[in-house]
Amino acid sequence: MSQNIVVITGASSGIGAASAKRFASAGWRVILLARRKDRLQELCKEIGESTVSFYELDVTSLPAVEETFAKIYETEGNIDLLVNNAGGAFGLSPAQKADIEDWEKCIDVNINGLIYCTHTVLPFMVAKNKGHIINMGSVAGTYPYPGANVYGGVKAFVQQFSLNLRSDLLGTAVRVSCIEPGLVGGTEFSLVRFRGDTSKVKQVYDNTEPLLPADVAETIFFCAALPPHVNINTIELMPVSQAFSPLTVIKSHA
């Protein structure tokens, strides 16, 4: 039987890197995509260069995405699984104070990057009648919270886009899943969100036990490893230490 091939975007750290390790440990061939070449090189060395290779890629450039996937198909012959993991949040300001550049960046990486990769691989997967796309959503796509504004909006897009892909792909054997984690520690998510302000990052994770990248990677692997007739549409996961707040009402002063 031929080796399964997974392509992971945003693979240089956090959930992407943990997923690379999880799939490699199960005997998959892993292709890493990200912007930071030095990190990708390190990860390749760590996992083992016979199992893993990488391409430097900014997913927000459609020509670069198309060129990179063309190279992958030429070299590898096939992609069994695409994990659309690249994404992130930029800032946590209330909407009325947010930078428009942060919103644009958020839309660019979380939506454009994801649809560019998806649009590029889908025709190949449908032609083979085989393949799986796993998109990284977030609890922010379902539950609003102060400061999430556009980040919550793009993750709601990822959730609904994933379900809509299922509608279009009905009648094919191509699978689509959306994984929606809550608080995940051990990633650069908050460091990016707070522009490197480590004291703010510390406040988010201090004295709590968040999910770890390996927990999310295990969930992604679970979806991929199920028999081909099973499609996980959506999985939402949170640490036990996280739950919902009540709706808030402001009382006027008497």
Q: Please identify which of the residues 116, 143, 151, 205 carries the catalytic annotation.
A: 151
Decide: is 44 part of the binding site for ligand 8X3 (CB under 6 A).
no
Catalytic annotation on 151?
Answer: yes
Q: Which residue's beta carbon is nearest to the bound ligand 8X3?
A: 138
Determine the Cα–Cα distance for residues 202 and 236; give it in Å rounded to an integer. 24
Q: Are 184 and 14 within 8 A, CB to CB?
A: yes
Name residues whose C-beta falls within 8 Å of residue 81's C-beta, 6 or more positions apart in sequence.
4, 5, 6, 7, 23, 28, 131, 132, 133, 134, 224
CB-based contacts of 167, cutoff 8 Å, min separation 6: none
Q: Which C-beta is closer to ligand 8X3: that of 143 or that of 222?
A: 143
Binding segment for ligand 8X3 (CB under 6 A), chosen from 18-26, 49-57, 136-144, 218-226, is: 136-144
Query: Does residue 183 bind ligand 8X3 (CB under 6 A)?
Result: yes
CB of 182 to ligand 8X3, least distance (A): 5
The answer to the question of residue 140 lying near ligand 8X3 (CB under 6 A) is yes
Rounded to 10 degrees, the C-alpha dihedral 148/153/158/159 comes to: 90
138 near ligand 8X3 (CB under 6 A): yes
Cβ atoms of residues 87 and 141 within 8 Å:
no
When asked if residue 182 is in the footprint of ligand 8X3 (CB under 6 A), the reply is yes
Binding mask 58-97 for ligand 8X3 (x = CB under 6 A): ----------------------------------------
User: Is residue 120 a contact point for ligand 8X3 (CB under 6 A)?
Assistant: no
Task: Decide: residue 247, CB within 10 A, 0-12 exposed, 13-18 middle, 19+ buried.
Answer: exposed
Is the Cβ–Cβ distance between 54 and 7 less than 8 Å?
A: no
Q: Are 113 and 121 in contact (CB under 8 A)?
A: no
For the bound state, the minimum distance from the C-beta of residue 173 to ligand 8X3, rounded and expressed in Å, comes to 30
Could you list the active site residues?
151
* Interacting residue ranges for ligand 8X3, rule: CB under 6 A: 138-140, 182-183, 189
